């Protein structure tokens, strides 16, 4: 299980609560245009070839979390936290969580998931211009780092994302 990003990486106190939320969660609801400019989240397939489901969970104590539920790969995203970010960055968070499932377990890390997300958005055409990239970097630079979870301090994280974009 990986919890990602915005709160310095505090572990979910209530994993059970998250699982209960899954029980009651529906598929990702029809996106409000102001929040999600795309009709679908970033398509996601696990490293093992499984489809990965995105589930909205407003009780999540963070922006997102990748985990498994009864063996199936899922991504929980908190829409209340997501909406604090620009639309492009919201999509990037989806792709970041996807990266935790899509990457080989041997290389899965916060840094690798950041890189996966950045390249995915580049290759899918969401990041087209330097202005797009700078918007992403500007918001990531505000995030706290956390040595325990492997999140780099925001400015370092933003710089690493830029390197992933160009390489």
Which lies closer to Zn ion via its Cβ, residue 84 or residue 128? 84
Instruction: Determine the Cα–Cα distance for residues 140 and 127; give it in Å rounded to an integer.
Output: 15
Among 4, 81, 89, 127, binds Zn ion (CB under 5 A): 4
Q: Does 25 bind Zn ion (CB under 5 A)?
A: no
151 CB burial (10 A radius; 0-12, 13-18, 19+): buried
Instruction: Determine the Cα–Cα distance for residues 143 and 153; give it in Å rounded to an integer.
Output: 7
* Pattern 86-115, Zn ion, x by CB under 5 A: ------------------------x--x--
Helix axes 154-166, 110-124, angle to 10 degrees: 50
Which lies closer to Zn ion via its Cβ, residue 96 or residue 126? 96
Q: How far is the CB of 43 from Zn ion (least distance, A)?
A: 18
Q: Does 143 bind Zn ion (CB under 5 A)?
A: no
Interface ranges with Zn ion (CB under 5 A):
2, 4, 110, 113
């Amino acid at each position: 299980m990986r919890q990602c990003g915005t709160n310095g990486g505090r572990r979910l106190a209530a994993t059970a609560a998250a699982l209960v939320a899954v029980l009651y969660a529906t598929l990702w609801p029809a996106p409000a245009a102001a929040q999600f400019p795309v009709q679908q989240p970033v398509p996601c397939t696990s490293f093992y070839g499984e489809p990965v489901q995105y589930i909205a969970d407003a009780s999540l104590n963070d922006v997102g979390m990748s985990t498994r539920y009864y063996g199936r790969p899922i991504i929980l995203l908190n829409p209340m936290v997501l909406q604090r970010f620009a639309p492009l960055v919201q999509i990037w968070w989806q792709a970041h969580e996807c990266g935790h499932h899509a990457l080989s377990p041997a290389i899965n890390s916060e840094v690798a998931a950041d890189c996966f997300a950045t390249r995915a958005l580049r290759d899918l055409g969401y990041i087209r211009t330097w202005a797009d990239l700078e918007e992403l970097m500007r918001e990531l630079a505000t995030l706290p780092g956390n040595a325990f979870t492997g999140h780099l301090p925001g400015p370092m994280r933003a710089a690493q994302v830029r390197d992933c974009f160009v390489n």
